[in-house]
Amino acid sequence: MHVLAPARRPHPGVILAALCGLLLSLLFAVSPSSSAAGTGAAATDYQAENATLSQGTVATNHTGFTGSGFVDYTNVAGSYVEFTVDAAASGQSALTFRYANGTTADRPMNISVNGTVVASGVSFPPTANWDTWATKTVNVTLNAGSNKVRATATAATGGPNLDRLTVGGSTGAAPGMAVAPYEYFGWGSPPNPTAVMSATGVKWFTLAFVLSDGGCNPAWDGSRPLTGGDDQAKINSIRSAGGDVIVSFGGWSGAKLGEKCSSASALAGAYQKVINAYGLKVIDIDIENTEWSSATVRQRVVDALKTVKANNPGLKTIITFGTTTSGPDSTGVDMINRAANSGLANDIWCIMPFDFGGGTSNMGTLTTQAMEGLKARVKSAYGYSDSVTYAHIGLSSMNGKTDDAGELVRLADFRTMLAYAQQHHIARLTYWSVNRDRACGSGTDADSCSGVLQQPYDFLKVFAQYTG
């Protein structure tokens, strides 16, 4: 297995305004209609029967619809409804589809904005019957002015019956701890986390890495203090902005606490110092390199996590490690089985599906393949049902060029991963890293950019649509 390598390695006019407001009020008084939603922000309804249709028909043979009818997708894959919607300014907005699905099977659709699919395989699960309506919200980024929003059926059975699209208002559930991108404050020109929050809607970050200071004592990168420094100041700013953090222990390089602490109790004590310093709700053990290769250390980590979970009711633990394209290798299988046999109720088993060594380009497909392998191993070890197993697994990808020459994780691959997460409701959908989520410039360190053409946070904006 080619596990994580260098990129995760830490190193050295009043009137005019009034007239405009009046015109907007008049505009929203006619179709499309303006309403209040969520927290009271303006929202606009667009009736499906007034949109552009392909292979769908306007129908009225079921009750409960709004407007003059609804759209029947006519059981055709590729049929779509396309709305022309307006946004006062560019930025994140909620798209809320009102639909009915009287069958017993999901009718997924792809959602595109201005010709680009921004959410693949969005689930439109069954409602009680065709006269029962439900809503599905997808958070997207709209341009200022006119936008084309298309909902396309992906299954042979077509899409659900579609009543209307509401744009704006509440953006629905914000991305939670499942989408907690890694950020490293030690290098890579780290972006201001509160600016990332404003641009993408994310609330959580996974901060890397806590290491050994040479003994069994935790420090950022093995050298920066837990309290009183820039790291704590940034954590405080994230929380002041309504967010929270996961602290990650380990990574590829540096001295690992799992090795420097000579016993499980000592290691648990080191973890506890960090938990106490920040009042953490979640910790991530990114176990790699020599810490990963030692069975003794792996068992020490398992036993230490049992202790901290017992001493911190409600604390969630994540174990993150490398993978093959078919799932965990023999060491990964041993780690899962070792934890299960030791009675560790680990909350999330998270793989890093990249650096496969083959210069592959279909990384979305390979990631879902590896996730199915992980799912099988966790299910076997713990005896969970399928749905419970998915709720205990996750992935941490890498955006753009990875450490392997020729290996590229594209935005399309992130959309494939998002669709998989939405289908199975996995516990974690994240990536390495916010530092890299921007195009490279002259003299930019490869660990500070993605290596591909993109706008800032393009990759995160895909994952930020996931709400669990």
The SS3 assignment for 163 reads strand
User: Cβ distance 206 to 196 under 8 Å?
Assistant: no
Instruction: Please confirm, yes or no, whether 372 is among the known catalytic residues.
Output: no
Q: Compute the half-sphere exposure of residue 410: CA atoms within 13 Å on the CB side of its CA.
A: 11
> Choosing from 49, 288, 291, 407, which is the catalytic residue?
288
Residue 366 CB neighbours (<10 A): 23
CA distances from 158 to 55, 74, 124, 337 (A): 10, 6, 11, 42
* Longest Cα separation, the chain: 74
CA dist 57 and 215 (Å) reads: 70
Residue found by looking up tokens 């992130």 in the block: 414
Q: In 312-410, where does DSSP find H-type helix?
A: 330-341, 363-382, 386-390
CA dist 458 and 199 (Å) reads: 10
Q: Compute the half-sphere exposure of residue 38: CA atoms within 13 Å on the CB side of its CA.
A: 19
Strand partners, 110: 152
The helix-helix angle for 230-240 and 193-200 (nearest 10°) equals 30
Q: What is the 3-state secondary structure (H, E, C) of 288-300?
A: CHHHHHCHHHHHH
Active site residues per annotation? 288
